[in-house]
Amino acid sequence: MKLCRFLVVNRPDEPRTGVYHEGKIYETDGTSAAGIHEPANVQFLSPIGLPPAVRLFEQFEKSSGEWIMSYFFMNPNQLKGTNDTLSMPPQVEELGFEIRVAGVLQDGDQMIEPKEAESYLLGYTFMLCFTDRSLQLESDASPALWTESHDIGALLSPFLITPDEMSAYLIRETKSGFQFVYSIYINEIPIIVDRTFSFDVEFYDLLQRASLRSPLSTGEVIAWPSLPVPDLEATDLERNIEPGDKIRVVIEGLGAITSTVG
């Protein structure tokens, strides 16, 4: 299923939940059907409410040639829905972005084993994260700057995709290793079109690592490292992103995010 949250145009103060199916939105109240809506008559929100935590995994070089996988936290209050605009801090001189596929939990626990991880997962979505490129470039000398560089915020795809919907993209029998197919457009200029990528680490392994030292909570967001994104100066855009640019990201099976840089 493609789970979603939305506002109806003529009742903009009442967030609703539903399922997107074959071009229509079937509103539910959690137990029963409550109406059918056309996409043109709704505004999609983030598919989840305010999560208790957002963990972004990344590979860090521990020593020369030795890499480890770990995570850092992002401010949950800066997680918005597609079509929202994030205000860019005046201190950010050079803006960057990342695309991260993430899982959202329907239950929490500590020391979750990969073989039992499926029961904790509600669904998958993806994030368009904005970053401070200057801090990222300086982080080799001061790794703490890396986490600060990701504090601007992120937009979420409008859908939360239940695991059964992602079966066509599985590449391993463990049910959490996928091949993602994604495209990026900036001001309608193709940056990446139908690129495929798969992570060495699977989502259930991330879940195990994230739950080693403290219990996870219902509603937490746990994200893979960023999908590969090219140096924009070497693309047809010929520069980095700037305020006013329109970014559109599509990942097969997960949906699309469209955002105008604030």
CATH topology of domain 46-260: Fumarylacetoacetate hydrolase; domain 2 (3.90.850)
Domain borders along the chain are: 1-45, 46-260
pLDDT at 169: 96
Helix (H) or strand (E) holding 259: strand 255-260
Q: Which of 10, 9, 35 is nearest to 24 (CA)?
A: 35
Between CA 247 and CA 14 the distance in angstroms is 28
* Predicted confidence (pLDDT) at residue 247 exceeds the cutoff of 90: yes
Q: 4 pLDDT band (50/70/90 cuts)?
A: very high
pLDDT at 118: 93
Between CA 53 and CA 219 the distance in angstroms is 8
Indicate the pairing of strand 42-44 with strand 153-156: unpaired
Q: What is the pLDDT of residues 193-222, one digit of tens each?
A: 999 999 999 999 999 999 999 999 999 999
* Predicted confidence (pLDDT) at residue 90 exceeds the cutoff of 90: no
218 close to 107: Cβ distance less than 8 angstroms: yes
Q: What is the pLDDT of residues 147-192, one digit of tens each?
A: 888 889 999 999 999 999 999 999 988 889 999 999 999 999 999 9
Q: 54 pLDDT band (50/70/90 cuts)?
A: very high
Average pLDDT value over all residues in the chain: 92
φ/ψ of 217, rounded to 5, equals -120, 155
3-class DSSP state of 120: helix
Residue with tokens 């239940």: 162
CATH topology of domain 1-45: SH3 type barrels. (2.30.30)
Residue 194 identity:
D
Percent of the chain scoring above 90 in pLDDT = 74
pLDDT at 137: 84
Mean pLDDT of 34-51: 93
Q: Which of 176, 193, 175 is nearest to 184 (CA)?
A: 193
Between CA 47 and CA 213 the distance in angstroms is 28
pLDDT at 89: 84
Between CA 119 and CA 125 the distance in angstroms is 17
Q: 93 pLDDT band (50/70/90 cuts)?
A: confident
pLDDT at 32: 77
